[in-house]
Structure 1
């Protein structure tokens, strides 16, 4: 099995007897890449794959590890699916960021993930940008407001 690249967490552990990792057949379907945005204090967190109860831990770990960053942009362009567990994680991470004077924005929402944010009303809580480049250009000071779709 390939080892993850720098800044990448893969959800591909063998479940073994400890119950860790995704169930058989669900391995290698979720990764999280974390990169600082060059020239800013923003951290870009990019989950890729299906975000659900079985795969949420790498994203939780990345968001907790970088929770002190002044701004986090979650690049959702690689998400194929997000259930209520993933949505709740993002909502809690945003609340923690705001409590500490930081920001957590979303970029690149695509179907069916954007539909879930729409029907739950959660997109009104986040600033949502068309892509990471637009989010970084706005630098959290303008552009999309909660509920706006850039």
Structure 2
């Protein structure tokens, strides 16, 4: 499923000849009660609605992995949406994890302290591997104690 957003209207798409500033792809992870939601572009006040809709429509999944590798930007509106979605998932006995955080989006999560809340994986492949360790586990500092962060020099 794909949702486009221009001025926050799901499915409306951009004007002809202009690419969408934001889109969301949703795909089930085969053989699991897991859904991967992949936002692409700039996640902000004007584009947050398609991601919110995708998170709500898939709230019955045992686990949601948000693949952030395609995000170029995330403001506080997007961050708050993800925090609220995680809180609802935990309340329902489910999980909401992040994968593929990269600059400058990872910086937003770091400076706001949101990395203390989310389990973060280097990429979706690692998030879906049942025994793959997270790059960052909630409650642990993001200062390297949890291993290299995406985008960090090796």
| Residue aligned with 1:135, SS | helix
For each residue in 1:83-114, what CA deviation from the matched residue of structure 2 results, as whole angstroms up to 9, or x when unmatched?
00000000000000000000000000000000
Residue 124 (structure 1) shift: 1.1
Residue 138 (structure 1) shift: 3.1
Which residue in 2 is equivalent to 1:132? 124
Deviant stretches of 4+, over 4 Å? 147-150
Contact 1:75 1:131 in 2 (8 A): yes
| Residue aligned with 1:88, SS | helix
Contact 1:12 1:27 in 2 (8 A): no
Contact 1:108 1:130 in 2 (8 A): yes
Within 1, Cα distance between the matches of 2:49 and 2:126?
Answer: 28
Whether 1:91 aligns to 2:74 is no
TM-score relative to the length of structure 1: 0.82
Which residue in 2 is equivalent to 1:108? 100
Contact 2:7 2:46 in 1 (8 A): no
Q: What 5-or-longer segments of structure 2 have no aligned partner?
A: 141-145, 150-154
For each residue in 1:58-82, what CA deviation from the matched residue of structure 2 results, as whole angstroms up to 9, or x when unmatched?
0000000001100000000000000
Whether 1:40 aligns to 2:49 is no
For each residue in 1:108-143, what CA deviation from the matched residue of structure 2 results, as whole angstroms up to 9, or x when unmatched?
00000000000001011000000000000037xx62
Within 2, Cα distance between the matches of 1:118 and 1:67?
Answer: 25
Distance 1:14 1:107, change over 3 A: closer
The count of corresponding residues between Structure 1 and Structure 2 is 136
Q: What RMSD in Å do the two structures reach over aligned CA positions? A: 2.5
Q: What 5-or-longer segments of structure 1 have no aligned partner?
A: 1-6
Contact 1:70 1:101 in 2 (8 A): yes
Within 2, Cα distance between the matches of 1:128 and 1:119?
Answer: 15
Within 1, Cα distance between the matches of 2:25 and 2:50?
Answer: 9
